[in-house]
Amino acid sequence: MTNDLDFESLKQRAVASLFGHLEGMCVGTVAVDRTARIAWMDDKYKALLALTEDPAGKPVEEVIPASQLRRAVETGQPSMIDIMEFGDRSFVVSRLPLKDAGGAVIGALGFVLFERAEQLRPLVTKYQRVQEELTRTQQELAQERRAKYSFSQFLGVSNAVREIKRLGRRAAQLDSTVLLLGETGTGKELLAQAIHSASPRAGRPFVGVNVAAIPENLLEAEFFGVAPGAYTGADRRLREGKFQLANGGTLFLDEIGDMPLPLQAKLLRVLQEREIEPLGSNKVVRVDVRIVAATSRDLEALVRDKQFRADLYYRLNVVPITLPPLRDRTEDIEGLADRILEQLSLQQGGAPRELTDGALAVLRGHGWPGNVRELTNTLERVTALTDAPVLTEEHLRRVLPAAPSQAAPPAAMAEAFNGRPLSEVLHAAERTAIASALEQTGGVKARAAKLLGISRASLYERMMSLGIGAGA
């Protein structure tokens, strides 16, 4: 009981102290009763209004024509800061309803915080500055979410590249889902951005997400967002997912073949219904998003192996575009290498390096399992290791994998070579090795991949690249 009395006493002291401090800081204070008649006005307010007699008992509007204290009494709602006109002056005021122990409104308090609205200028200026910084940050973020590439940056003179650009421009004018197929490093994201840049959605966000790079337990939140307080530790504000961030624009789903089956079902529903449900929410949110998906895996094989939903595959495979590996378009290597060296010169300073005919021959003869990404890495490594303005065959051989032994080839290899380009010989050898492994394992791809010393995903990629059917 003693503690309860102490707490009540402390509360009363706190209220009295708070009112005392607030009344002392203000330039005028007035109290009205439940009928909005003035019950009390301090001397500072009387002086501010140049009153010569006590206004107690008068309706507040009779003394302060623009007062809104009656509204505070009627609604029971406070007005923490407002500007009130009084003649040719402007007061910065605050209004608080007064309530009894049962919660009924019995009056209201009015405080004049400043006698001139100009005194708020520093606060308003600071608020405006914060708002300007927020707007600038939002604009910068929106700019970051714009596509950075166009079709002009998808370099190449080969027939394959011309066909890719033709299909890409055609897809840009449609609003259908696009599926980009090809090995890693072939430029799938660049093409996705180019399609977005040439589409009617170009002015809206381009949001990319690598499905394989996000832990499985976070994928749903990453895609669909999280409702306030959805779980312990969750933000009290809505956390938007990638679909909401891309609303009105394009969502690029890279490595879609690595998406877990449970999430595939939810993605299919989004594509069909055009609505999402944030994690922990019971409300659906409408979204308008164009999907461009990409994968380096054989989705048809994944569907046959029950690792990818057939209905989602058909929903994604509306406008398929296959990007060939670099080794199948060696005529593009010179142009790509020149552009890469130009970009490196801008980053590192100095004039762009040049390539000798011998260096170009080395580049064209390499298999490029990492495609354009590997070519970029190779040229960056070469320029980091030498200051020579002209890059030679010797410079490139230092950083590329060692060439096969130069010993005389067996008769079978000599016959297989028969004057053909190295890339064709390598393809033939690889095709033969894969076909042999599949034959030895009865077509069981997991065992064939183990026999070849590669991953199952790599086996699918190589089979797709080499045109080997699933039944091979």
For 226-247, what is the HEC assignment? ECCCCCCCCCCCCECCHHHHCC
Predicted confidence at residue 423, as pLDDT, reads: 63
**Residue 141 domain flag:** no
Confidence of residue 443 (pLDDT cuts 50, 70, 90): confident
Residues 94 and 23 reside in one and the same domain:
yes
Host domain of residue 244: 151-230+238-322
Is 131 part of any domain? no
Residue 192 lies in a domain: yes
| Percent of all residues in the chain with a pLDDT value above 70, rounded to a whole number | 81
* pLDDT tens sequence across 103-146: 899 999 999 988 775 656 666 566 667 776 766 665 555 555 56
What pLDDT shows up at residue 123?
A: 60
For residue 447, give the CATH number of its domain.
Answer: 1.10.10
pLDDT at 472 > cutoff 90: no
The tokens describing 131, both together, are: 């708002």
Asked if 354 and 257 sit in the same domain, the reply is no
Residue the block writes with tokens 């406008």:
319
pLDDT at 354 over 70: yes
The answer to whether the beta carbons of residues 226 and 280 sit under 8 Å apart is: yes
Q: What is the pLDDT of residue 462?
A: 78
Confidence category of residue 229, pLDDT binned at 50, 70, 90 = low
**Does 87 fall in a domain?**
yes
pLDDT for 390 beyond 60: yes
Same domain for 218 and 271: yes
Same domain, 70 and 95: yes
Residue 422: inside a domain: yes
pLDDT value of position 74: 93
Q: Assign residue 387 the CATH number of its domain.
A: 1.10.8.60
Per the model's pLDDT, the better-predicted residue between 222 and 118 turns out to be 222
105/214 same-domain check: no
pLDDT in tens, 393-403: 999 998 887 64
Mean per-residue pLDDT, 317-343? 93
Average pLDDT, the chain: 83
Residue 297 and residue 182 in contact, taking contact as beta carbons nearer than 8 Å: no
- Predicted local confidence at residue 337, as pLDDT: 93
Average pLDDT (275-285) is: 85
Cα end-to-end distance, the chain, whole Å: 88
Please state whether beta strands 390-391 and 354-355 pair in parallel, antiparallel, or not at all (unpaired): parallel
Q: Residue 405: what pLDDT?
A: 43
Burial zone of 32 (CB within 10 Å; 0-12 exposed, 13-18 middle, 19+ buried) = buried
- The pLDDT assigned to 218 comes to 87
Above 80 in pLDDT, residue 470? no
Q: Which is more confidently placed, 241 or 404? A: 241
Indicate if 305 and 158 belong to the same structural domain: yes
Q: What is the pLDDT of residue 119?
A: 58
Residue 134 lies in a domain: no
Q: How confident is the model over 295-306, as a mean pLDDT?
A: 92
Does 166 have pLDDT greater than 90?
yes
Overall domain count for the chain: 4
Mean pLDDT within 315-338: 94
- Considering the domain architecture, whether residues 284 and 346 belong to the same structural domain is answered as no
Domain boundary among 305, 322, 339: 322
